[in-house]
Amino acid sequence: MKNLSIEELEMLADEVREEVIYVVSNTGGHLGASLEVAELTVALHHVFSTPDDKIIWDVGHQLHIRIRY
């Protein structure tokens, strides 16, 4: 993600949200929290060097995006 432009990062966040909606509509789960952190997740991966830099979420269901991606 380091080499993506801002436009590409925004598109990626949109794709993440679409995937979250698809998965939650088929399996159930927490939709709101995952949608709320889509941009944050993309931004953190763009700025930091994961997996060397660790990202720790304070709420369990926000972790769903990280686990899938």
DSSP 8-class letter at 13: H
pTM given for the model: 0.72
Amino acid 7: pLDDT: 96
Going by C-alpha positions, the residue among 67, 54, 65, 63 that lies closest to residue 15 is: 65
pLDDT at 60 over 70: no
Burial category of 41 from C-beta neighbours within 10 Å (exposed 0-12, middle 13-18, buried 19 and up): buried
CB atoms within 10 A of CB 50: 13
CA torsion 58→47→34→21, rounded to 10°?
-170
Residue written as token pair 């926000």: 62
pLDDT at 30 over 90: no
